[in-house]
Amino acid sequence: MSEIMQSLFETGAHLGYRKSRRHPSVQDHILVTKNTRDMIDLEKTEQALNTALEALKEIKQAGKMILFVGSKPEARDITIGIAGSLNMPYVDERWIGGTLTNFSEIRKRVERLADLQYKQEKNELIFKTKKEKLLIEREIARLTKNFGGLLFMNKLPDALFIIDSRTESIAVIEAQRKNIPVFALANTDCDITTINYPIVCNDASRATITRITEYVRKELSA
């Protein structure tokens, strides 16, 4: 067993879902089924990870943008962390429909947030009433929650890195429509035919998500 395979094994990356939840597209990534639970072939996971890392590095070295997406509880702070370390945009809350396919409208909301934040920092927000102040503060909080990670994304990203392609299925669909390549951690219930660079693993494990994103961070920081 290679060093990477051993590292992934220690995080439980090989633990898939019950066989009854298996998507047909991951059939070749199943090593064996034990007590109705699918075990993922980590040799293939390592191969897929290495292929993804090479492609991601080419994108980063070309000065292109990668949008990191991970909205489920196990992935949120990890998504923010890796995106921040690489100066890339991110989505850590519910994917807003149209983020890619209606980007011009989404960008208007982001610009509104940037304007309000700037005026707030410069103490340029003037309120006539307490209610008006409260409404603006609520708007800033709402916009920050939905679009805070996109503040510096002034154009469509060149790639998406997704944690759990099934959870983020709308993001995957929008990326396909805009011909944007998708890199994704995908468990045995995911349709990996929709992903350009699928990394089949236990995407429900925080330890596995952390380990794989750390490989990505190190490769793209080199």
pLDDT per residue over 19-63, tens digit each?
Answer: 999 999 999 999 999 999 999 999 999 999 999 999 999 999 999
Phi–psi pair at 95, nearest 5 degrees? -65, 125
Give the pLDDT confidence score for residue 128 in this predicted structure.
Answer: 66
Tokens at residue 126, please?
A: 């003037």
Give the pLDDT confidence score for residue 9 in this predicted structure.
Answer: 96
Q: Is 208 left (phi over 0), alpha (psi -120 to 50) or beta?
A: alpha
Give the pLDDT confidence score for residue 138 in this predicted structure.
Answer: 92
Give the pLDDT confidence score for residue 126 in this predicted structure.
Answer: 74
* Secondary structure of residue 114 in the 3-state scheme: helix
Tokens at residue 90, please?
A: 């991110």
184 forms beta bridges with: 162, 198
Measured between alpha carbons, how far apart are the two ends of the chain, in Å?
Answer: 25
Residue 31: alpha-carbon gap to chain centroid: 26
DSSP 209: H
Tokens at residue 78, please?
A: 């990890």
User: What pTM did the predictor assign?
Assistant: 0.94
Q: Which residues in the chain come in under a pLDDT of 50?
A: none
